[in-house]
């Protein structure tokens, strides 16, 4: 029987708030510190480094861009990038009402992001040129976004209770979820050619294929509030249970394993496949969790 082992690494105090995490091209872990306006870097086994942003930036989601920089969103209405040397560039979005959250590298050499404030999808080139696409759903509240296996971008619509798909030309498809008030958040390309997502409101993990067929997997604790999801190095999907202080793992066949974090109220959010064969999660209590299936 598969079980999950977890060890934690302290990278900040509990007021800095590690929120999202990704693996950079330098084989280090890069993470956002949402409450201290910093980006952190940790090579497994090393000491953390920190790169300061503009005051009140509140960085959220982070991903590797096509230019080998780390790109991130922020509640201050900006998109930012940091190089492996720590050089930071910030791009203001045209509207002060913008609230970028999810971000992912697209198949077209640009970054794509969600704008929950204006209910639209954005595209930004590595030189800062910005284009917006209005979602054809009222008050969608788009959350996470990921490049799909079909060459399109897939995103969750938290308030609209739907999964969206947008091509690089700006054409949209909308797929309503079978479960009411499921409130999807996290999304990623799976190991099976489908897209997987979390339903924070329903306590389920969802799967959608390129034909729009949706399968939902109820979690043992429907109040666990699953948040982020990623494909692990082991070919399974890994997710955080923000409301239950746990890390979860689900196979493509739907088999679920869960493990509680060693510290209560850790507030797990984003996670990523690490450079060392493990899955790493950002914990808002100031730690990163290293997770392996054994």
Residue 90 labeled ligand binder: no
Contact 280, 48 (CB under 8 A): no
Residue 267, marked binder: yes
DSSP 8-state secondary structure symbol assigned to residue 67: T
- Element housing 6 (H / E): strand 4-10
Q: Catalytic site residue 269?
A: yes
Residues 198, 208: Cα–Cα separation, whole Å: 11
Contact 154, 187 (CB under 8 A): yes
**CA-CA distance, 140 to 136, in Å (whole number)?**
9
Please pick, among 119, 132, 217, 269, the residue that the annotation labels catalytic.
269
Got the DSSP string for 133-147?
EE-SSTT--EEEEEE
CA-based R_g, the chain, Å: 17
**What residues contact 191, with CB distance under 8 A and at least 6 apart?**
231, 235, 236, 237, 252
The answer to whether 49 touches 24, Cβ cutoff 8 Å, is no
Q: Is 216 annotated as a binding residue?
A: no
What are the binding residues for Mg(2+)? 267, 284
**Which residues does the annotation mark as catalytic?**
269
What are the binding residues? 227, 267, 284
What are the binding residues for substrate? 227
């Amino acid at each position: 029987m598969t079980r999950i082992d977890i060890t934690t690494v302290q990278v900040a105090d509990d007021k800095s708030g590690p929120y999202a995490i990704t693996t950079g091209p330098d084989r280090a872990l890069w993470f956002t510190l949402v409450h201290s306006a910093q980006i952190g870097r940790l090579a497994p086994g090393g000491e953390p480094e920190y790169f300061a942003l503009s005051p009140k930036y509140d960085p959220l989601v982070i991903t590797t861009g096509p230019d080998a920089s780390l790109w991130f969103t922020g509640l201050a209405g900006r998109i930012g990038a940091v190089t492996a040397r720590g050089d930071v560039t910030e791009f203001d979005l045209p509207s002060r009402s913008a609230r970028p959250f999810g971000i992912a590298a697209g198949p077209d050499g640009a970054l794509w992001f969600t704008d929950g404030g204006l209910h639209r999808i954005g595209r930004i080139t590595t030189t800062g040129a910005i284009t917006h696409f209005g979602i054809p759903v009222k008050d969608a509240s788009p959350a996470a976004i990921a490049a799909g296996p079909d060459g399109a971008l897939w995103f969750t619509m938290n308030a609209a209770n739907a999964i969206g798909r947008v091509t690089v030309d700006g054409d949209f498809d909308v797929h309503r979820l079978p479960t009411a008030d499921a409130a999807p958040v996290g999304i990623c390309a799976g190991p099976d050619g489908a897209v997987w997502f979390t339903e924070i409101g329903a306590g389920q993990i969802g799967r959608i294929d390129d034909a729009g067929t949706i399968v939902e997997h109820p979690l043992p604790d429907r109040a666990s509030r699953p948040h982020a999801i990623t494909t692990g190095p082991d070919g399974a999907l890994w997710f955080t249970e923000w409301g239950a202080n746990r890390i979860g793992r689900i196979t493509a066949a739907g088999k679920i394993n869960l493990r509680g974090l060693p510290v209560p109220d850790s507030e797990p959010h984003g996670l990523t496949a690490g450079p060392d064969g493990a899955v790493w999660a950002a914990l808002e209590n100031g730690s990163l969790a290293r997770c392996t299936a054994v």
